[in-house]
A = this chain, B = another copy of it.
Amino acid sequence: MEIQAYLRERRELVEAALARLMLSASGPFARHIEAMRYSLFSGGKRLRPILCLAAVDAVDGSEAARQGAMPPACALECIHTYSLIHDDLPAMDDDEFRRGKPTNHTVYGEAEAILAGDGLLTWAFELLSGKATAGLPEQARLAIIQCIARAAGPLGMVGGQSLDMLYQGRDAGYDVLHSIHKSKTGALICAAIEAGAIAAGASREQTRALHDYGAQVGLAFQIVDDLLDLESTMEELGKSVGKDVEAGKLTFPAIFGVETSHIMARDAVGAAQKALADFDEKADPLRALARYIVERRK
């Protein structure tokens, strides 16, 4: 399959769904919603929603199944966007550019950027529990909320970001690096796959296999992210580069060197492919996405 065409088509589906579901910037809270929309509609890769929908396809290739998973897919993107807004804050990574545009706090100020993040996070759960997901069984809706909240919460993404800040400029080994990235990036990517599996009514075996795929893809994604920060240019990446070294962050290339990190990323993607062994060609998009994740340039 042609991955670029696939990504473009899927990104357009996700953009359309986000545009349809997201609050419009009117009424008394117009400025707040505008700040949320600014970061949500700023040309992200939409990788988490795309992974979620591809997991649905692997289990149940019907259009109805894909439609049912679209609101959870959008909620994942809202949570990812909130995490970027908060990560970029002056008190955190202090970044001025993201996706080639000024960061949220640069445009709306620090207070509103904190609130825009809070708003996106909370709204994701409003979306997950509301009318938009009413077509899914109640048990599945609760399981999806649980899976996403856990992945985004104190033992997942937020905890990982906290650990990342805590270890800046400090020496630590692979176990800490692994904890950071498994939670900070891996958990939400894994939850995207799992939410798709739940929405599509996957069997226990399928769910386990997709979970393994998600864990490996999440790991590969983070290693490549660390490498891109080192090897890419700001024009390619749309955000400041070389920040990890500058901030003394614990990264894969910092611990293992560039060459070994590349090998580790490829190994993780190999393991991800292996996890899909029992799936038929409906999982081909997941297979292609795993390859894309190590080959991407941004």
Which chain B residues lie closer than 8 Å to A36 at the CB level? Answer: 154
**How far is A145 from B161 in the complex, measured between Cα atoms in Å?**
25
A165 B122 Cβ-Cβ under 8 A: no
Interface size on A, residues (CB 8 A): 54
Binds B, one of A46-54, A63-71, A123-131, A231-239: A123-131
Q: List 20 A-B contacts (CB under 8 A).
A: A27-B155, A29-B154, A29-B155, A29-B163, A31-B162, A33-B154, A33-B159, A86-B115, A92-B111, A117-B118, A119-B162, A122-B152, A122-B153, A123-B154, A125-B153, A129-B145, A130-B146, A130-B150, A141-B142, A142-B142
A96 contacts the other chain (Cβ, under 8 Å)? Answer: no
Which chain B residues lie closer than 8 Å to A152 at the CB level? Answer: 122
A149 contacts the other chain (Cβ, under 8 Å)? Answer: yes
A129 B146 Cβ-Cβ under 8 A: yes
Which chain B residues lie closer than 8 Å to A139 at the CB level? Answer: 138
A114 B129 Cβ-Cβ under 8 A: no
A115 B158 Cβ-Cβ under 8 A: yes
Count chain B CB atoms within 10 A of each CB in A27, A125, A139 and give the residue with the most: A125
Which chain B residues lie closer than 8 Å to A89 at the CB level? Answer: 111, 114
Which listed residue, B32, B130, B155, B159, touches A158 by the CB 8 Å rule?
A: B32
Interface positions of A (Cβ within 8 A of B): 23, 27-29, 31-33, 35-36, 82, 86, 89, 91-92, 109-112, 114-115, 117-119, 121-123, 125-126, 128-130, 138-139, 141-143, 145-146, 149-150, 152-155, 158-159, 161-163, 165-166, 176, 179, 183
Considering the complex, give the chain B residue whose CB is closest to the CB of A175: B28
| A interface SS class | helix
Which chain B residues lie closer than 8 Å to A91 at the CB level? Answer: 109-111, 114
A121-B118 CB under 8 A given contacts A154-B36, A165-B112: yes
Which chain B residues lie closer than 8 Å to A112 at the CB level? Answer: 162, 165
A126 B153 Cβ-Cβ under 8 A: yes
B32 A119 Cβ-Cβ under 8 A: no
Considering the complex, give the chain B residue whose CB is closest to the CB of A109: B91
Count chain B CB atoms within 10 A of each CB in A89, A119, A179 and give the residue with the most: A119
Distance between A176 CB and nearest chain B CB, rounded to angstroms: 7
Considering the complex, give the chain B residue whose CB is closest to the CB of A126: B149
A114 B138 Cβ-Cβ under 8 A: no
Which listed residue, B28, B122, B138, B161, touches A176 by the CB 8 Å rule?
A: B28
Which chain B residues lie closer than 8 Å to A153 at the CB level? Answer: 119, 122-123, 125-126
A179-B28 CB under 8 A given contacts A154-B33, A162-B112: yes
Distance between A113 CB and nearest chain B CB, rounded to angstroms: 8
